Structure 1
Amino acid sequence: MTALTASRPPVAPSRRRSHVVADAVTMLRRNLLHMIRYPGLSLFTIIGPVVALLLVVFVFGGTLGAGLPGVDPEGGREAYIAYVLPGILAITIAGTAGGIAITISMDMTEGITARFRTMAISRASVLAGHVLGNTIQGIIAVALVLAVGLLIGFRPTAGPLEWLAAAGVVALIAFAISWIGLAMGIQAKSVETASNLPLILTFLPLLGSGFVPTDSMPAGLQEFARYQPFTPFIETIRGLLLGTPLGWNPALAIGWAVLFVLVGYIWSTAIYERKSVR
């Protein structure tokens, strides 16, 4: 028996990879079903940005839009819809971090993750399933918020290639934010506190170019707003949909997204492995 065991060939890397991929698909299916059965978090992710959009456009839009460079005061509200919607889309994506933080924290505290550890399931696939499910949820939320924007007067100038590029950027940002939100949720000590840390991500678009140009901010805040991650995210989406100058923003957006993925992956797997041995 020992000789037979010793002569057994190791599992090929390709088979290990296919095993992880199959497990990740299973975990993704589980998270999508969870999203359908418990739609409260998904609805909150959509309703919050929609309310914010309607509020800033119909209450503050006329005044804020008239203050934008080169805008006729008579068309302030229409101009502000075009300006603010990319920022609202960024807030929509950022808001999904709270949802994934809560769901992974529930799995960690309710013993579901512990049950997965006793099964022949790749640990990486458990995390990947959460991330992929949350990414899909973020894309759907962005599409619905964008649809509301179109109904109230948002008129993009993008062609097919720009729309495709914008969709790719949204998917990349949603993927990156999902990894950060996942790590924050695993780090949390309870479900009740899981959504606290992701609130930082929701506030960052407010401190960027999402609602007003960074040039209008005080000097210290202006520098922070220009170089924080969400400003290139917003400016890239704005440039693709509305034809504003892109500059280095796409490269910066991709760079920040890759950094988010790396930090979130290393952070989440390290905490997950540490909690797995308890």
Structure 2
Amino acid sequence: MSAKSPAVVMLRRNFKHVARNPTSVFNAILMPIIIMLMFVYMFGDAFSVGVDYIDYATPGLILLAVCYGLGGTATAVNSDMTKGIINRFKVMDVSRGAVLTGHVIASVLTNVVSIAALIGVALLLGFSPAASFPDWLGVAGIVLLLAFAAGWLTVALGLAAKSPETAGMAAVPLVMLPFFSSAIVPAEKMGPGLRQFAEYQPFTPIIETVRGLLNGAPETGTTLTAVAWCAGIAVVGYLWASATFTKRA
């Protein structure tokens, strides 16, 4: 792909916007680390999970890190739409795919930086995965697939919102959903109702897949369920984003 192609130009533009926004950097990179320190040092001893809590929590916190920067992506997408920048791109004959894909890839790259920082801190805190090299490749694949899927869904939410403020709020359910999964504690330790919700919502099989890979013991059934959820979310997000962009632009 040429360095001057519309997709690369849009990616460079969006990534620079993220890097220059302290709030986005804090939410995407520093907040997951703060949450890790809080749960491991403040609450870790309160949870009985059968293994060192840092080993249990890290897979869930990796997936939580994917979601923490989504509010900034939704706000950026909506700002482009509501401030007329999209119309300027249309005059410049920049394709719809380049505009939307630029936001998605910028979100994925931000997630890569965030997760790398989070894993580095986890290793300093005593995280000791048993994953082999193929297992790590599997972790990378699942995390990137989720980041891609969540990116498209977030772009769709940003396009559908009426203002940048409501766009940021629209991403809040995606940020909160991992907390109601097996990320922090096993689903079976939750109360009735919440336990069933945690077991059947999309983040739990994704987290359990990453946890199994990091433990060196992946489960095929859980992995297939996780991939199916990610693929479904990506398709829904892409179709919704494309339709909304066409309608509003």
* TM-score (normalised: structure 1): 0.84
Counterpart of 1:193 in 2: which secondary structure? helix
Instruction: Give the aligned partner of residue 72 of structure 2.
Output: 99
Given candidates 131, 134, 147, the residue that maps to 2:104 is 131
CA deviation after TM superposition for structure 1 residue 205, in Å: 1.0
The yes-or-no answer on 1:179 pairing with 2:156 is no
Q: Tell me which residue corresponds to 2:206.
A: 233
Measured in 2, the distance between the counterparts of 1:244 and 1:212 equals 19
Secondary structure of 1:59 counterpart: helix
- Identify the match of residue 212 of structure 1 among 185, 200, 205: 185
Q: Distance in 2 between matches of 1:141 and 1:56?
A: 18
Query: Structure 2: which 5+ residue stretches go unaligned?
Result: none
Report deviation, 1:37: 3.0
State the partner residue of 2:6.
23
Give the counterpart of 1:200 among 155, 164, 173.
173
Distance 2:73 2:219 in 1: 31
Residue-by-residue CA offset, 1:112-139 (whole Å, 9 max, x unaligned): 1121111111112110111111111111
Task: Give the corresponding residue for 2:163.
Answer: 190
Q: CA deviation at 1:39?
A: 4.3
Question: SS of the residue aligned with 1:154?
Answer: coil
Secondary structure of the 2:64 match is helix
User: Aligned partners of 2:206, 2:73: CA distance in 1, in Å?
Assistant: 20
Q: Structure 2: how far apart are the matches of 1:270 and 1:103?
A: 18
Structure 1 gap ranges (5+) = 1-17, 72-78
Superposition deviation, residue 34 in structure 1: 2.1
Shift, 1:243, TM fit: 2.5
Classify the secondary structure of the residue corresponding to 1:243.
coil
Q: Which gives a bigger RCO, structure 1 or 2 (Cα 8 Å, sep 6+)?
A: 2
Give the CA deviation at 1:23: 2.1
**TM-fit CA distance, 1:142:** 0.8
Kindly indicate whether residue 142 of structure 2 is the aligned counterpart of residue 169 of structure 1: yes
Aligned residues: 248
Q: Counterpart of 2:72 in structure 1: which amino acid?
A: G
Q: CA deviation at 1:40?
A: 3.1
Matched letter for residue 109 of structure 1: T
AA of the residue aligned to 1:209 = S
Contact 1:28 1:130 in 2 (8 A): yes
| 2:36 alignment counterpart | 53
Which of residues 27, 33, 54 in structure 2 aligns to 1:81? 54
Q: 2:27 aligns with which of 44, 58, 63?
A: 44
Distance in 2 between the 1:260 and 1:160 partners?
Answer: 28
- Match status 1:32 vs 2:15: yes
Cα RMSD, aligned residues only: 1.7
| Partner SS state of residue 166, structure 2 | coil
Tell me what 2:237 maps to: 264
SS in 2 for 1:195: helix
Residue in 1 aligned with 2:248?
A: 275
CA distance in 2, matches of 1:249, 1:25: 35
Alignment-mate amino acid for residue 42 of structure 1: V
CA distance in 2, matches of 1:39, 1:115: 27
* 1:176-201 Cα shifts (integer Å, max 9, x gaps): 10001111111111111211121111
Question: 2 CA distance for matches of 1:245 and 1:130?
Answer: 32
C-alpha separation in 1, matches of 2:28 and 2:128:
23
Q: Is the 8 A contact 1:97 1:180 kept in 2?
A: no
Task: Out of 39-48 and 232-241, give the one that drifted further.
Answer: 39-48
Work out whether residues 82 and 156 of structure 1, in 8 Å CA contact, stay in contact via their aligned partners in 2.
yes
